[in-house]
Amino acid sequence: MFRNKLSQMKNIDDIFSNPSSTSDAVSQADVKMFHPIYKAHANEQNLNNRRNETFLKSSTKVKSDHSSLPPTKGEAEQHTFSNVILFCQL
């Protein structure tokens, strides 16, 4: 299992560090990277669903911490694309 995760992360890294990667490939790698971080279900394809679930759970608490919410799909893509562009230029 650990080897499989390591192999997955290596593939994601290869996509991010390849200047000729397409935006679709980067976007798909982005999903594969952020989903495990925010404990999204394996069949979920959209971070917005995970963000909504997390928000609904936290909103029932007296003190909710919105800074712990996962990013939206757009926020995650923006973060990834800006970092890919930055690191490919180095």
User: Taking the model in full, what pTM does it have?
Assistant: 0.64
Distances (CA, A) of 10 to 17, 57, 63, 78: 10, 33, 38, 21
Distance of CA 6 to the CA centre of its chain: 16
Instruction: Dump pLDDT digits (tens) for 62-85.
Output: 887 777 788 888 888 888 888 777
CA 57, CA 89: separation in Å to the nearest integer? 40
Find, among 19, 16, 20, the residue nearest to 34 by Cα: 16
Instruction: Dump pLDDT digits (tens) for 23-68.
Output: 888 888 887 888 777 777 767 777 888 888 888 888 888 887 777 7
Please check whether residue 41 is in contact with residue 34, taking contact to mean a CB–CB distance below 8 angstroms: no
Find, among 11, 76, 4, 82, the residue nearest to 46 by Cα: 76
